[in-house]
Structure 1
């Protein structure tokens, strides 16, 4: 009888432990989903030409920013006539955005011999980009903590 009671107690404890683990997993999944429910809408302004595509890159770290679009966390292409894109499923954190008006559709920012952009480009938190104001992730970054919308002005060079 004593062994049956010990087995029953062990079975009850195991069931409670498994039920608690399952609810912890569900709680973690809910928290994970809640963390990834932010949106960032990027509106591009000062588009002077209607040729090519507008490339938008969202970075969550400095690696590759702003020159290597392939290292961006998320990217999008839009038509110059519809220069707005919404990125969904983002979590709370620091982000920086680069926008390139890829006028010749080659998928990259063309530069002159001095390394200056030959195509219009814009960055979050920058109204003017130039030799005296080179872009950095630290300056371009902002904290996303809700559903947000930003305007990025394209700079002509």
Structure 2
């Protein structure tokens, strides 16, 4: 009977800690953005999906500003995440490139990876730990 009473008293505490498991946040600051054209952002938690640019866990658009942008991605599970983005200067919904495939619009990756082409998941991945806010800065090129 003591065990049932102890379990009944501990249940609310266990629920509290269980809810904190997904309370992890990625705090993102974007530098070198232009005041024209929205930023298109994708967040991945899987290397294969990242490589294939399929099914990100989050995809959203940020309005343009003439100052560094900052936003949070919350309710993440602990693990590795990669963020990729571009600023859609002509608002056509895609990253425009020249005939060589070099982007004509500003783009960036978490960890500022991809100095010579698109960053791999390993170059861009950021570890998000339980119960913590992880801050990253992405400089658009």
- Tell me which residue corresponds to 2:128: 144
Aligned length: 137
Residue 48 of structure 2: SS of its match in structure 1?
coil
Greater relative contact order (Cα < 8 A, sep 6+): 2
Residue 71 (structure 1) aligns with: 55
Q: Which residue of 2 aligns with 1:55?
A: 40
Instruction: Normalising by structure 2, report the TM-score.
Output: 0.78
User: Of the candidates 78, 81, 96, which is equivalent to residue 92 of structure 1?
Assistant: 78
Q: Which structure: larger Rg?
A: 1
Cα distance in 2 between the residues matched to 1:118 and 1:64: 24
The Cα shift of 1:73 comes to 0.9
| CA-atom RMSD in angstroms | 2.9
Structure 1 residue runs of 4 or more that deviate by more than 4 Å after TM superposition: none
The residue number in structure 2 matching 1:135 is 119
Using the alignment, how far apart are the partners of 2:76 and 2:87 within structure 1?
A: 24
Where structure 2 has 5 or more consecutive residues not aligned to the other structure, the ranges are: none
Name the CA distance, whole Å, in 2 between partners of 1:67 and 1:120: 20
- In structure 2, relative to structure 1, the CA distance for the partners of 1:129 and 1:118 (3 Å cut) is same
Q: TM-score, normalised by structure 1?
A: 0.71
